[in-house]
Amino acid sequence: MTDQTLSQRPQLTEKESTGVIDWSSGPRRVITLYLPLALFVIVLLFPFYWMAITAIKPNAELLDFKNNNPFWVKSPTLDNINKLLFQTDYPRWLWTTMMVAVVATALSLFASVLAAYAIQRLKFRGSNYVGLAIYLAYLVPPSILFIPMATLIFQLGLFDSPMALILTYPTFLIPFCTWLLIGYFKSIPYELEECAMIDGATRLQTLWQITLPLAMPGLISAGIFAFTLSWNEFIYALAFIQSAEKKTVPVAVLTQLVEGDVYHWGSLMAGALLGSIPVAILYSFFVDYYVASLTGAVKE
């Protein structure tokens, strides 16, 4: 490594001058870089390929590996998807999940924007401690909360109602969004707000007309992330919802599509695939925001 670097040191390539150091090349690069990378990508994506291929396989091919190559499908069928959409409550589950996720996200964003603004901009004594408390709230996992929460939901008469989910999801969405938005507000120069206030704007006008438009990317990050988190939520939806038609997609696929000992793998996989598509679409449009919120949340 050392002599290689020494011999190449004098010629500064374009890559080096842009700050990216890249001295290894050729077959060595293929083995140490592209091969492991390709393996990673294959392993990470294979379950989705397998899900998709199973969803469109007819049962005869699905359960016979000897005569059919399991990695491919000879006569693709939409039977499984058809069955899922027209013979089960699947569209309803999708609708419930969508509604719960949208309302919970909107509620959490509203609460988080105000809280983050108060903590980051309206500095008050102890605002750092409030920020720390919210950070700690993010560290309380749903697994230790769901049992007492179930009793609380029962007392409030919300059991088996989507309201139960809409009100409990913010417990993990608000800490996350607030934390993300505090970081975002920090990056907006306070002078802009001061300017507006010197011009006579009230605090709320400043928030609405100056800070929020500037914080839009942060809001989008927090929003899509909150939506994804609520879409993926499982344990609360499993514990608080009982009737089959009110379940959310992740819970319903697992509990309603498995009947007894006979697993209808085709429709199970179709259910899993269709349930992943809304988040996947959202994700494909907002990849950069996801990465920003993921890394932003970790860095803050």
Partner 1 sequence: MAVAAVETRTTYKLDQSWLVRLFDNKPFLIAICLFPAAALLLVFLSYPLGLGVWLSFTDTRIGRPGYFIGLENFESLWYDRVFHTAVWNTLLYTSVATIGKFGLGLWLALLLNNNLPFKSLLRAIILVPWIVPTVLSAIAFWWIYDPQFSIISYVLVDVLGWRETYIDFLGQPWPARFSLIAANIWRGIPFVAISLLAGLQTISPSLYEAAMLDGANAWQRFKHVTFPMLMPILAVVLTFSVLFTFTDFQLVYAITRGGPVNSTHLMATLAFQRGIPGGQLGEGAAIAVAMIPFLVLATLFSYFGLARRKWQQGEDND
Q: Name which of residues 139 to 178 contact partner 1 (CB under 8 A).
A: 139-152, 167-168, 170-171, 174-175, 178
Cβ 224 vs Cβ 292: under 8 Å: no
Among positions 90, 117, 179, 185, the unique one binding partner 1 when judged by CB under 8 A: 117
Amino acid letter for position 212:
L
Closer CB to partner 1, residue 58 or residue 142? 142
| Closest CA relative to residue 57, chosen from 73, 42, 45 | 73
- By 3-state DSSP, what share of the chain in percent is helix, strand and coil, each rounded to 5? 75, 0, 25
Closer CB to partner 1, residue 218 or residue 271? 271
Number of H helices, E strands in the chain: 19, 2
**Shortest Å, Cβ 211 to partner 1:** 10
Q: Which positions from 83 through 102 interact with partner 1, judged by CB under 8 A?
A: none
Angstrom distance (rounded) from CA 207 to CA 115? 12
Angstrom distance (rounded) from CA 167 to CA 37? 42
Query: Residue 181: how many CB atoms within 10 A of its CB?
Result: 25
**Shortest Å, Cβ 43 to partner 1:** 7
Q: Does 41 sit near partner 1 (CB under 8 A)?
A: yes
Site string for partner 1, 273-292 (x = CB under 8 A): x-xx--xx--xx--xx-xx-
Q: Does 28 sit near partner 1 (CB under 8 A)?
A: no
Q: Does 122 sit near partner 1 (CB under 8 A)?
A: yes
**Shortest Å, Cβ 33 to partner 1:** 6
Q: Does 22 sit near partner 1 (CB under 8 A)?
A: yes
Among positions 111, 212, 220, 244, the unique one binding partner 1 when judged by CB under 8 A: 111
Angstrom distance (rounded) from CA 250 to CA 252? 6
**Shortest Å, Cβ 53 to partner 1:** 10
Q: Does 115 sit near partner 1 (CB under 8 A)?
A: yes
Among positions 27, 67, 124, 260, the unique one binding partner 1 when judged by CB under 8 A: 124
Q: Does 137 sit near partner 1 (CB under 8 A)?
A: yes
Amino acid letter for position 239:
A
Amino acid letter for position 259:
E
Q: Does 214 sit near partner 1 (CB under 8 A)?
A: yes
Burial of residue 148 (number of CB atoms within 10 Å: 0-12, 13-18, 19+):
exposed
**Shortest Å, Cβ 219 to partner 1:** 15
Burial of residue 25 (number of CB atoms within 10 Å: 0-12, 13-18, 19+):
exposed
**Shortest Å, Cβ 171 to partner 1:** 4
